[in-house]
Amino acid sequence: MRYSVFSLVANALGGHRGWPRAWRDPQPKPHYDVVIVGGGGHGLATAYYLAKEHGIRNVAVIEKGWLGGGNTGRNTTIVRSNYMIPGNTMFYERSLRLWEQLSHDLNYNVMFSQRGQYNLCHSPASLDAARLRGNIMRANGIDAELLDRAEVMRRLPYLDYSPNARFPIIGALFQGRAGTARHDAVAWGYARGADMNGVDIIQQCEVTGFLREGGRIVGVETTRGPIRAGKVGLAVAGHTGHLAAKAGLTLPIETHVLQAFVSEPLKPMIDTVISFAAAHFYISQSDKGGLVLGGDIDGYNSYAQRGGLPMMEHTLASGKALIPALSRLRVLRQWAGVMDMSMDGSPFICKSPIDGLYINGGWCYGGFKATPASGWCFAWTLAKDEPHEDNARFTLDRFRRGVMIDEKGAGPTPNAH
């Protein structure tokens, strides 16, 4: 059913007993045109755009747990498009433009809030780098503003500007169209939209292997039996390497664990998103009042969806160094997700070397903001067997060809991206 003010009023008068399920819970069929492995934002968005943009509706999304139970529900909900390396810039801007229309497009409120995002600068060199980044963004039609220290002090008065500050704040690169979105709603909205277009969403169904004929992959083995498919797309975030290994592929990916934290609820304090570049710390405030914050990955390979205390201490210390007022705040919740850290910090949306298998992965820290464009470009690649211009550089062979997309310039060190 379409949600509207009329459906809301009608169901309010009916005591909210008349709402139907938002999506079906079908049995898997023996064959689909396309099977997407992974029922997170990226997989569901891919299925939605396959049906909506390309008319491919005989599609299944297979999820081993529950929808959005992986990294879609484990991130810090930040959305931005401040990338400067060709290949990334316009991809993330496509994503931001899709975000701006997403609630209307899906008829589902993803609570996208364009509250802006500040990347703080702490040295003349970092301010120069921010100026370069901002100029590249503006040359590509993306909004960016370089702010000096006085303007940052006026806008964010609660940061530490004292002589004792761990890193002096001398300016910031601000993107006003950046912001946050409600991450669960993104998974649910795409699931509902895909389902309304005929996509089967199959939860509690783990892929255990691949069906092969000749050299080609023609389906998946699952805990609910084999499912044949014309094409199989992987959108499994931190498990990309694990599943690709079942197909016999070794990828330029390491899986690492990243934590996030929510404080006890506060009155409105931080009305934007702040990234503390020197310590790699980022913070915003949720609509419920909790401060949502995160930092670095723990730094060692991990598929465990939980992090350790050293990184928790480091992240909270970074927060206090930036905002001294946090010192007596208590952490309410902490969790972790497993990231597919690629060797240059940029993703893959491409055909794999095996016919019939397509890969969407390598999202590192940045998967949530990419969700709409990732699904849009992966659907394009699956439907047309060739990449869209915006994901043409996200290939697996870019390392072999020497055209890495290394936004941070950190080299092939996944735990440094």
Tell me which residues touch other proteins (CB under 8 A).
239, 241-242, 245, 250-255, 299-304, 308-310, 343, 399-400, 412, 415
Could you tell me the smallest distance in angstroms from the CB atom of residue 299 to other proteins?
5
Could you tell me the smallest distance in angstroms from the CB atom of residue 340 to other proteins?
9
How many other CB atoms are found less than 10 A from the CB of residue 142?
22
Residue type, 281: F
Residue type, 185: A
Per-residue tokens: 227: 């499912």
Query: Cβ closer to other proteins: 203 or 301?
Result: 301
Could you tell me the smallest distance in angstroms from the CB atom of residue 413 to other proteins?
8
Residues 6+ apart with CB under 8 A from 267: 289
Closest CA to 370 of 35, 53, 23, 87: 87
| Spatial distance between the Cα atoms of 386 and 313, rounded to a whole number of angstroms | 45
Could you tell me the smallest distance in angstroms from the CB atom of residue 304 to other proteins?
6
DSSP class of 113: B
Could you tell me the smallest distance in angstroms from the CB atom of residue 58 to other proteins?
31
| Spatial distance between the Cα atoms of 98 and 235, rounded to a whole number of angstroms | 19
Query: Cβ closer to other proteins: 116 or 307?
Result: 307
CA separation (Å) from 301 to 1, 256, 366? 44, 5, 18
Query: Cβ closer to other proteins: 3 or 399?
Result: 399
Could you tell me the smallest distance in angstroms from the CB atom of residue 216 to other proteins?
23
CA-only gyration radius of the chain, Å: 21
